[in-house]
A and B are shown apart, each in its own frame.
Chain A
């Protein structure tokens, strides 16, 4: 059983650019959530996808968007990058109908210059 994987590990972008981050959920998990973790802070919920539909969103602007694919993998897209978007982006997966435990991937470190 493989855990949650994310790519890329690190990414450097400039202000105004767009970025796509990817997540493969743990085997058997149909729900994926994305979190933003700024340096020295706890993770903040961005949104959650269940069966390819967004079913919960945190206090993030529309330039943060996502997708979930039939194999339950997911993408986080961020448009018009701002300096404050620099953070560790975490993906978490779980089996919605079976358990509440969420398991996190290693994250993607995004730096916006």
Chain B
């Protein structure tokens, strides 16, 4: 049962471009939406997260856009760099409970 749907499965972006990854959720009880970055052979690292009471959060080159009515949220990576090449996971959490992850997006930034 996939409660968080993530797209695209893979993404190739030129250096300096914008990478956009989208996620949709079903459970309206989710109240915390983090994004994780994972490099091969490593654990997921928390990148940025948002609560549903705000529509956008920006940290450096990373921005989350959140649409509560559509039950969708997205990650934008501005000025994408080769070092950003990794797998990105969106997730959703109901307070105190488990994280439910999307299937992941493999990002490759071409130099």
How many residues of B sit at the interface, in one of the four size bands?
Answer: 20 to 34
How many residues of A sit at the interface, in one of the four size bands?
Answer: 20 to 34
Asked if A72 lies at the interface with its beta carbon under 8 angstroms from chain B, I say no
Minimum Cβ distance to chain B for residue A41 (Å): 6
Contact with B along A33-47 (1 / 0, CB 8 A): 101000011111100
Asked if B18 lies at the interface with its beta carbon under 8 angstroms from chain A, I say no
- Interchain CA distance A6-B43 in the complex, whole Å: 10
Contact with A along B80-99 (1 / 0, CB 8 A): 00000000010101011111
The segment from A13-21, A61-69, A75-83, A97-105 found at the interface with B is A97-105
Asked if A90 lies at the interface with its beta carbon under 8 angstroms from chain B, I say yes
In the complex, are the beta carbons of B98 and A48 less than 8 A apart?
yes
Residues of B within 8 A of A (CB): 6, 32, 34, 36, 41-46, 49, 89, 91, 93, 95-104
